[in-house]
Amino acid sequence: MASQPAKASNASRYFFLFLIGLVMGAVLTVMALRAIQARQDPFPDSVMHVMEKQAGLLKQNGEQSRCAVTDTLPRLQSLRAISNDLELAFPDEAQDQRFVGHASRLRATLNAAIAAPPADCAAQGIVTQKIGEDCKACHQDFRG
């Protein structure tokens, strides 16, 4: 009896095809996600991130007892400049009078704070709290 030659296993071929499919799937998924991301406007998120950072730095200054006008005023001015673009950043919401009202109240708060900058930490805390309340009121109505 002659022994028959052992058949080579196809497992290595199947594993190789599996790896090719896995790599192609990953590449196509990344390409699809990038295409979706390219269609989204980054401006609204950018405006909110910058405003959040400036407000956070203002609050941090108060917590560190850095409440001089020279520490506070640049943050207030940055927030005020960015607040000019709220309606531009959110054109759909800009048609709603509630949104326009919230944006106007925030600008009024910032205008008042810039006109009479807080001179101590207590006054800065009040201004920071008022800015936070203005932001929170808008977010309650429009942030999902």
- 115 and 88 in a common domain: yes
- Tens of pLDDT, residue by residue, the chain (144 residues): 556 666 667 888 899 999 999 999 999 999 999 999 888 889 999 999 999 999 999 999 999 999 999 999 999 999 999 999 999 999 999 999 999 999 999 999 999 999 999 989 999 999 999 999 999 999 999 885
Domain region containing 32: 10-39
Q: Are residues 56 and 26 in the same domain?
A: no
Does a structural domain hold residue 5? no
Q: Is residue 1 part of a domain?
A: no
Structure tokens at 25: 């799937």
Same domain, 70 and 125: yes
82 and 97, same domain (yes or no): yes
> Residues near 131 by Cβ (< 8 Å), separated by ≥ 6?
55, 58, 79, 106, 109, 110, 113
The predicted structure's pLDDT at residue 140: 94
Please give the pLDDT value at position 12.
86
Q: What is the pTM of this model?
A: 0.74
21 lies in the same domain as 57: no
* Structural domain contains residue 4: no
**Together in a domain, 62 and 22:** no
Q: How buried is 10 (Cβ within 10 angstroms: 0-12 exposed, 13-18 middle, 19+ buried)? A: exposed
Give the residue carrying structure tokens 């390219």.
38
Q: Write the pLDDT tens digit of every residue in 59-100.
A: 999 999 999 999 999 999 999 999 999 999 999 999 999 999
Which residues have C-beta within 8 Å of that of residue 2, sequence separation ≥ 6?
Answer: none
- 51 and 23 in one domain? no
Residues 69 and 35 in one domain: no
Number of domains in the chain: 2
